[in-house]
A and B are shown apart, each in its own frame.
Chain A
Amino acid sequence: MRRPDRRAPHDLRLFRLSNYGRFVLMRLLLVPGQLVLVLLILYVAIDVPSDISLGQNVDVMTFFNGFAQMVANDFTGNWGTSASFQYPGVPMVQLYAWLLPNSVELAVFALGFSAAIAYPLSMVLGWSRRPGVDFPARFVSLVGTLLPVMVVGSLVISALFFWFINNVGDLPDQGVIPSFSWWVLHYEGYPSWVIYTSITQPTGFPLVDGLVQRAWAFEEITLLKTLLQAAVIAAVYVTIFLRHSRSVVADASRELHLTAARSRGIKERTLLWRHTARRVRPTFFIVFALTLPAYLGTQFVVEAVFLDRGVGWLALTALTGQMSSGNGIQQLEVMMFLLSVVVLVWLSVVDIIAKRLDPREVQAG
């Protein structure tokens, strides 16, 4: 029978954390510090030069006041208004809220495709010891890393352009939802649940909204165009992912416990898909976390190639100064702030999950 705990509630030993709990706490505490550093870098490199170029005097007080104002604006959603001709005068926080679901929906499909291709391919290519496999795999992953995704996307659109028009009745680009001409042909214009030619309502997720509105023809075209974009993103991103993940499997395949298991007559397939797969899965998570910036870059450009109005399109619009007419610098800073929040939070989540998945950590308790 367990003895009752007689320690006082203020005894700190009650709140003693396990190793894993301590790791999670430290990792989460790191994020605000990193975010402050990011904001400081952005302020010094983007806002201060902009103020100087406008002839403003930047002394210590102005610096700290400006920095505090910038942080307050970033966290309260005071991000200015859109100067883009597609969404004139729309508050940026509203625009992000409208465009984010579209990007998230695309990312779900693209990451699903990527995982379905990259995981087995990394395992098989990393495991193989045939001389004819190593060099081609390395070469393809290198070329894929260097290849600008817009070339791939443009070629895909070009190849499918007339097939799409003849068989689907719509253009392959012009976003994931059907283009204006399709709406005119079938519904004499946009329905009330599609605003600004690209944003669906009520949820903002085009496929979900199509289901809600029971627009089956819309649903079919949107799904097809989403799958097409997702396939392009996956094709490019998988090569980037392979460059790191293949060597992880190759290293794991040389470990001594596998030689011992092999000598006991365990099948190669079991060694690969049970022993090694379990060992490399946490590292794959870390590889994915580290290549997230590359993934984001790929998705952003694919959105731009397919003229898909998502956060990627918005990011490139801000970064090429097309949100200018007075607020271009602010839009740049807001975009970088949001990107860094996403990546910093994601990196810490992956670190925490990877630590939990690592068999060595689990064994160590």
Chain B
Amino acid sequence: MSFPAVASIPTPLPASNPPGWRERLARRPLGAGTWLGLGLLAAYLVVALSALVRFGGSLAQLSTNNVWVPPFAVLGPSWAHPFGVLTGFGTDLFTALWQATPWDLSIVAGILAIDAALGWVLGALAGLNEGGILDTVVMFVGDTLGSIPSFFLVVALFAGLGTVAPHSVGLPVFIVLFGLVIWPATARTTRERARSVARQPFLESARASGAGQGHLLLRHILPNSLSPLLSQIPIDVAPIFFVLTVFPWFYDCSSGPHGAPGVPLPPYLVPVLPPFSPLPYVNFPEWGNLLAMGTCEGIPFATGAVYWWMFVFPLIGMLGLGVAIALLCDGIDRRLSRAQA
């Protein structure tokens, strides 16, 4: 009696090394927009780090010079002052923006980090447990918080908490509050994606294989719900700068102690910090603060002159950061979409 020959079990091929970053980049090259975003962000980081080295202990204080303050001549861009002089503060705008860069990067990064972490995780959890108690609670709280304009809510909450918190910790408190207020939009969009991912067959398979909620969340839901987060982050940059810019401008320029907008009282506009400001003092280098003063003094209606440098350079600083974040997020999103496809 003979048995049919049993086919020998094929020996597995030796595992090849995972592709390195060069090979991955060659397979799926980053787009021009992503490179531009990365380059811009790297430039901002270099500027911020150089400011830390250059200014050291005086990083939190604008350097002022009374010689640059009107009624003396208004100084525009020149070799001595590449970005001109901001008259109300009597400060060189190039130096002021340089000093402000690390502060603004920290503020934006801190708020976006809290926003992303809360919105992403809570949205994914809500989507995974669709219709459950967690989903109901997260969406109820999120919808309620999201119904109030975040930029007004954060100022109101900060004003209240500011009465008990020491003024020196105002900026960290502001960052945490803003992060806690702004997450609902991220959570809502993430939840929608997480809901559809949770209904995919591969998730059913994982669940049938005995995977727990934690595994499903970390391994499947969160990585596949990254796209809404990347779309939302650039949008969330706008209210941050809105708050930092509008309130000092309104207080100093529109109907505050100085009267009409664009008409600094003689001899010149003296910047004053609004009562509920997160900044520790008025001479604190921060882009929004500088743009507020620059808009107020750079566009004096009654004279017909426009001192463009006072508001254009702070504006470029803000817009550049927003565009860089948007380009980078967009690039990562496209790369992930191609990888999933």
Contacts and interface: CB of A to CB of B under 8 A. Distances in A.
B147 A49 contact: no
A307 B261 contact: yes
B295 A315 contact: no
B89 interface: no
Interface stretch (A65-73, A89-97, A271-279, A339-347): A339-347
A168 interface: no
B278 to A, nearest CB: 13
10 closest A-B pairs by CB: A321-B275, A46-B160, A293-B149, A53-B163, A146-B322, A154-B299, A45-B157, A34-B144, A49-B164, A320-B251
A157 B301 contact: yes
Contact of A173 (B140, B242, B249, B260): B260
Interface stretch (B6-14, B44-52, B59-67, B231-239): B231-239
B246 interface: yes
Interface string B236-272: 0111011001110111001110001110000000000
Contact of B261 (A143, A154, A333): A154
Given A158-B299, A335-B156, A347-B147, A313 B255 contact: yes
Given A42-B156, A154-B299, A293-B148, 17 more contacts: A142-B322, A142-B323, A146-B318, A148-B315, A150-B249, A151-B295, A151-B315, A157-B261, A158-B299, A173-B301, A305-B254, A305-B261, A307-B255, A335-B156, A336-B148, A340-B147, A343-B147
A176 B198 CA distance: 53
A319 interface: yes
A147 B311 CA distance: 12
B149 A321 contact: no
B276 A321 contact: yes
Given A161-B304, A301-B246, A339-B149, A146 B319 contact: yes
B261 A173 contact: yes
Contacts, number: 183
Interface in A309-336: 313, 315-317, 319-322, 324, 328-329, 332-333, 335-336
A150 B326 CA distance: 23
A172 B155 CA distance: 30
B206 interface: no
A139 to B, nearest CB: 8
B156 A37 contact: no
A316 B156 CA distance: 11
18 contacts: A30-B140, A37-B144, A41-B157, A46-B156, A143-B319, A147-B319, A158-B301, A294-B149, A297-B151, A297-B246, A305-B261, A315-B152, A319-B159, A322-B255, A336-B148, A343-B148, A343-B149, A347-B147
Which interface residue of A148, A296, A305, A335 has the most chain B CB atoms within 10 A?
A: A148
A33 interface: yes
Counting contact residues on chain A (CB < 8 A from B), the size range is 35 or more
Interface of A: 30, 33-34, 37-38, 41-42, 45-50, 52-53, 139, 142-143, 145-148, 150-151, 154-155, 157-158, 161-162, 173-174, 243, 290, 293-294, 296-297, 301, 304-305, 307, 313, 315-317, 319-322, 324, 328-329, 332-333, 335-336, 339-340, 343-344, 347
Contact of A317 (B249, B255, B301): B255
A38 B160 contact: no
B86 to A, nearest CB: 15
A295 B45 CA distance: 33
Contacts of A146: 237-238, 241, 318-319, 322-323
Secondary structure dominating the interface of A? helix
B251 to A, nearest CB: 4
B273 to A, nearest CB: 10
Contacts of B242: 148, 297
Given A329-B159, A339-B152, A324 B250 contact: no
A155 B245 CA distance: 16
B208 to A, nearest CB: 31
A339 B281 CA distance: 29
B336 interface: no
Contacts of B246: 148, 150, 297, 301, 316
Residue from the set B156, B246, B315, B323 with the largest chain A CB neighbour count within 10 Å? B156
